Structure 1
């Protein structure tokens, strides 16, 4: 019996080896942003095999039509005979008449280096797999091998979460892991350190020095350790290694994108020109996703669909709470000061709580908008200035409120994140919104959990931030001293007037006066503008509450409108001691615990 089982085990292993789809990608024409891709799909059944380019990418929620950058597609059987190709839709190639094996070849154009697309030039081959490699949906459970034909003349090396087979050939156990494995091929600098038997490494492609790489990596290490402290442990990385794929080069596009055992972080900022301080925030955000999103994963994103947009109502937690921790971690790691952290909350706070969008959507419904906003493209005007709040920002300020509320009850958001990690992340059980609600009830009590979800998640209530921030010695005020117009403007190049560049905010003076996007304000009360004068400075000469006559042009036609200038609704957030107030000892103790300051 054992011999029979062993025989079948051997056959199974051989069959698994035979059923490996293999790719080779080369970059001979990198100067013109092209890659040549060849792929072989053996041991096929059925007369017709469908090949596709993905329409989505792990970590993104909107559609991205990667097929548009593919051309020169050809298909052959194992003997090199050309096969018939049918195009049933823009993303699919149906190949018929094979002899049990199909070889395909095509050219890819790629020139956007970020967390979604691919970029090929003589500085690097920056590959997001869905944007690069065609796949066969019916063969998605097969092993995959990919050989990167690197440009040795450019001293290129390969960095990826894919396990190495040999040379520059790497493997993936199935299509999903392959799609989730971005790859950076360049003359990068590599740094690594060990934590609890796991390797954390930085593959840094930049135009700077080795010394800059060393300094920056010290910051990366501090972030990693501070985030590990939140959850109490690192995730179990599949091959024992987590890799930051960092491209800080002029031809990149600023972005960050999480993956299971790696992340892409890109920026045009060099480490020498602001990147040392500013790029580290993306590192903080994306590494937190190694827990929250990659393993503490919404059930609504499982399985990830490569043919349609992926919608989830949990992004206020998955992305938003991650955003809350982004700068908090930098503060805890000593990379920004408490003052910088606290005052840095202000912009996001004002964006969320002064938006009229809360009357239309709660945080769950804002999360549903992701397919329309997550690097999505459209040509028709939209009204998102008035109807949308980013789930990153909305979730971030709710994370702040939940953390400070829990601390008033002797609990912390850190411990709640640990609780969710143990319940759903570590065993990798995808959660629903109901699961999250139940988890908060179990952690903090049913009344606390129900109040939070019913008031702030299922509805759009605003927490009592004055009291919450006061508990940690932080002052929240609404000064109401600055004039408020309610529309974003910019001076025309010829200094003829201020053009309104976005939809006025609902309920604002500009909105109520009937002004609209595209209008050009010529003067107010007959008072002309000074050259290069800021519009807010111009408004300060008028009194809040006064009725003003606005002369403007719409489509070239002169018009007038009456406008009552109101005070700005914006809040200010400061440490109490910076406003000549003295925080109490309990306040300072709470702040110390919150920010983990020595």
Structure 2
């Protein structure tokens, strides 16, 4: 084969790459003080006279609609020669353009002031960019390459961090719209740390107001999380360009969030490392990095490809989000970043929320998952009854993960190996799965009888496993104090501030959201009264008169107190006769790294 001079070869490679590019963007931040970016875009290789320009309605990792177009203004549209083109609007989400010469040039201003995993934020501390919230795109070019140039503020010492492929300077490349929209970018005067894992680089970018020493300490925790989660699957995913990037903003003007992407994740928090973030933020690191396997590659069919025009729905979020939630704190415990006692205590809130929720009578975990477009940072103005009808698929799934893990361990198996099998069957092949595939894979791993029973009772229906037995097998007690009473309403300064819980003492007495409790028995309730302390004076089946105000009218009702259904979990201590050597060994296998 004839050898070309190196410079001719390089020109050929660049031409081949650039030939794929049909969309180019340039974004600048001169007016960052007022949260504005100025964006220019050129769309080429347009085959049809009629072109639809769109702003995304949602964002990868989110399931609800967000209507990012509301923050776009000052749009100008011309052809390649600078001639103004006719633009029409037939819906709130797009512009229809016709009469171009094969090229369309646009410019517009974006307002952006929310720094989280969905929106963009532009100010003089950073340009925090989620692509769907930032860039108008041409629908007909979604399968062609994209280049973007970030015009950084040199006066602010800004640098660019992103999973996009670097080209030259601050210009980056994405192979198509799906990849581009999935590539958040942090532009700021950030700090970085990196380490290598079997030939791939884990890159941690931190925009914060803390010290380099604090970052060094925190990064050691991040490394432990990465390596611990790698052991669950036996290997890291193959990251594009050999790099995975954490994009962390721990600053006062951020909004707390975490959002996974193919080769990166956004981590935002108002907690600085010096003020609670050292321990308080690491759980989000564990959750989002686990997503690089579970969600990004072990991916539900309903989310692949991601739809930028409609809400995205999947019945598998109890697994995708919930099992990830189960493994995040478990990974911290195994990595030595959380004590076993603290880990068991961390389960109590979700355990009570899930297993005591009246929502299980209405929807199974699959149906809870399909409600994500209504609850995943979605907004509405009408009151809802979700306290009684909905259980977060994060929490529900995490408790199902606990139940499945402990059930498998009774058989000498474990959830880690089930996740490995899902990785082998679907994740490594990047083959999207359906709920039925989760079922069949469990049958493959643990046998048809086990898999059919688990899915038949706990996934397709909403039964509760025998958690007392399962937890006891690993040396954890599960108890209830039936001598205590439960009121069933969230009360602040005497005011009931959310719907009362179905079947509870307050609900059966007719009390409701917005009622102001004036008197319980002989005790007047004022802003300093502690209702919980007062309720400790009562026993189950005690009856008491409650005087309350509703819509300006004073009323009275008789409350019959129900026994508390609250669960408590605790580690069996070594001096407890119930804690056998087998249970100790089971607990160690569950909570400690190999």
Q: TM-score, normalised by structure 2?
A: 0.97
Structure 1: where are the runs of 5+ without partners? Answer: 3-9, 492-497
Determine the structure 1 residue equivalent to 2:394.
392
Determine the structure 1 residue equivalent to 2:556.
560
Question: Are positions 1:233 and 2:235 aligned together?
Answer: yes
For 1:66, which of 51, 65, 68 is the aligned residue? Answer: 68
Render the CA deviation track for 1:182-216: whole Å, top value 9, x for unaligned: 00000000000000100001000000000000000
Between stretches 531-540 and 327-336, larger displacement belongs to: 531-540
For 1:336, which of 320, 335, 338 is the aligned residue? Answer: 338
Determine the structure 2 residue equivalent to 1:360.
362
- 1:44, CA displacement in angstroms? 1.7
Determine the structure 1 residue equivalent to 2:573.
577
- 1:150, CA displacement in angstroms? 0.3
- 1:530, CA displacement in angstroms? 5.9
Runs (4+) of structure 1 exceeding 3 A deviation are 10-16, 578-582
Q: How has the CA–CA distance of structure 1 residues 199 and 11 changed in structure 2, closer, same or farther, with 3 Å as cutoff? A: closer
For 2:592, which of 569, 593, 596 is the aligned residue? Answer: 596
Question: Are positions 1:307 and 2:309 aligned together?
Answer: yes
**Distance across 2 between alignment mates of 1:406 and 1:450:** 13
**Distance across 1 between alignment mates of 2:575 and 2:456:** 35
**Distance across 2 between alignment mates of 1:596 and 1:219:** 16
- 1:545, CA displacement in angstroms? 1.5
Secondary structure of the structure 2 residue equivalent to 1:440: helix
- 1:15, CA displacement in angstroms? 9.2
1:190–1:202 CA contact under 8 A, matched in 2: yes
- 1:87, CA displacement in angstroms? 1.2
Determine the structure 2 residue equivalent to 1:521.
517
Q: How has the CA–CA distance of structure 1 residues 479 and 18 changed in structure 2, closer, same or farther, with 3 Å as cutoff? A: closer
Secondary structure of the structure 1 residue equivalent to 2:330: helix
Task: Map 1:498-517 onto structure 2 (within 5 A).
Answer: 498-517=494-513
**Distance across 2 between alignment mates of 1:283 and 1:12:** 37
For 1:537, which of 493, 516, 533 is the aligned residue? Answer: 533
- 1:435, CA displacement in angstroms? 1.1
- 1:483, CA displacement in angstroms? 2.2
Determine the structure 1 residue equivalent to 2:490.
488
**Cα root mean square deviation, aligned:** 2.0
For 2:455, which of 445, 453, 456 is the aligned residue? Answer: 453
For 1:412, which of 411, 414, 417 is the aligned residue? Answer: 414
Secondary structure of the structure 1 residue equivalent to 2:97: strand
Secondary structure of the structure 1 residue equivalent to 2:40: strand
Question: Are positions 1:547 and 2:543 aligned together?
Answer: yes
2:22–2:141 CA contact under 8 A, matched in 1: no
Secondary structure of the structure 2 residue equivalent to 1:257: strand
The size of the alignment, in residue pairs, is 589
- 1:546, CA displacement in angstroms? 1.2
Question: Are positions 1:292 and 2:306 aligned together?
Answer: no
Render the CA deviation track for 1:369-391: whole Å, top value 9, x for unaligned: 00000000000000000000000
Task: Map 1:93-242 onto structure 2 (within 5 A).
Answer: 93-242=95-244
Secondary structure of the structure 2 residue equivalent to 1:305: coil
- 1:312, CA displacement in angstroms? 0.4
**Distance across 2 between alignment mates of 1:159 and 1:579:** 53
**Distance across 2 between alignment mates of 1:115 and 1:136:** 23
**Distance across 1 between alignment mates of 2:365 and 2:356:** 15
- 1:524, CA displacement in angstroms? 1.2
- 1:88, CA displacement in angstroms? 1.2
